[in-house]
A and B are shown apart, each in its own frame.
Chain A
Amino acid sequence: MAESPLREPVLDAKSEVTCQLIDFQWKLGMAVSSDQCRSLKYPYVAVMLKVADHSGQVNSKSIEMTIPQFQNFYRQFKEIAAVIETV
């Protein structure tokens, strides 16, 4: 996903239920080293999403992404904002 160009907005929802995003927290991290790789030097963005389903139940989901993935995500969000204004 990180390397894919801007995708056409095709949504064939695999999830049954739509949720509301209540809040999200983010952090920008740098993985420095690991037992497998002493010189990891890997920057990443981690988000913690707080979502509520239709019944009001709140869940948290944490998702990590590479910098290019985040930038793609951000770019797509800007496109959504542009489209939603014109609808």
Chain B
Amino acid sequence: MAGELEGSKSLSGLLSGLAQDAFHGHPGITEELLHSQLYPEVPLEEFRPFLAKMRGILKSIASADMDFNQLEAFLTAQTKKQGGITCEQAAVISKFWKSHKTRIRESLVNQSRWDNGLRGLSWRVDGKSQSRHSAQIDTPVAIIELEFGKSGQESEFLCLEFDEVKVKQTLKRLSEVEESISTLMQAA
């Protein structure tokens, strides 16, 4: 039976299921589901600690946002310890992290954001005439629509009107942000 667990074919699937549950918020990925789908031959009492071990390893890797050097060192240590993992399993885990790292990190970042996140931006510029009873003044207007929302919630929309002066003022403020970002990136 232990041989079943040591095999790598189902491990990839297991890691995917664990990631869906732990990071991407996919509902319904239960221990029973993973067991019956991926390791049906293995008794549940053996499967449970195996699942817990893999979950723990995946969470450690994700929590530390391990780069590939750290990953190799960590997995090597896991293969050497009592009740650890096999070299084959280490290879599967390594391959999984390499291909899923970015997506998992994105999910973790989204989970840590509790405020509205920007989801979209649309705009148009209208030429606008003032009252037809006074001198025709064409004041162009920019209309900007922001789409934003909290994690897992419906989008909210905000439609803002800017005249040319306001656009320029706002642009100047935004350039201050850009400058700050450059400073931060240089320091990093």
A residues apposed to B, CB below 8 Å: 1, 7, 9-21, 24, 26, 28, 30-31, 34, 36-46, 49, 51, 61-67, 69-74, 76-78, 80-81, 83-85, 87
B residues apposed to A, CB below 8 Å: 62-65, 105, 108-109, 111-113, 115-127, 138, 140, 142-148, 156-162, 164, 166-168, 170-171, 173-178, 180-181, 184
A62 with B158: CB separation less than 8 A: no
Task: Provide the bound-state CA to CA distance between A63 and B158, in Å.
Answer: 11
Task: Provide the bound-state CA to CA distance between A84 and B144, in Å.
Answer: 12
Chain A: which residue is nearest B60 at the CB level? A38
When distances are taken between beta carbons in the complex, the residues of chain A under 8 Å from B111 are: 34, 36
Chain B: which residue is nearest A64 at the CB level? B115
Task: Provide the bound-state CA to CA distance between A2 and B84, in Å.
Answer: 40
- Measured CB to CB, the closest approach of chain A to B165, in angstroms, equals 10
Asked whether A24 and B170 contact (CB < 8 A) given A41-B65, A80-B123, A80-B125, the answer is yes
When distances are taken between beta carbons in the complex, the residues of chain B under 8 Å from A51 are: 158, 160
Chain A: which residue is nearest B164 at the CB level? A84
User: Which 9 residue pairs spanning A and B have beta carbons closest together?
Assistant: A15-B159, A87-B140, A15-B157, A39-B65, A11-B124, A65-B118, A37-B108, A34-B112, A18-B161
Chain B: which residue is nearest A12 at the CB level? B122
When distances are taken between beta carbons in the complex, the residues of chain A under 8 Å from B159 are: 13, 15-19
- Among A10, A12, A18, A45, point to the contact of B181 (Cβ < 8 A): A45
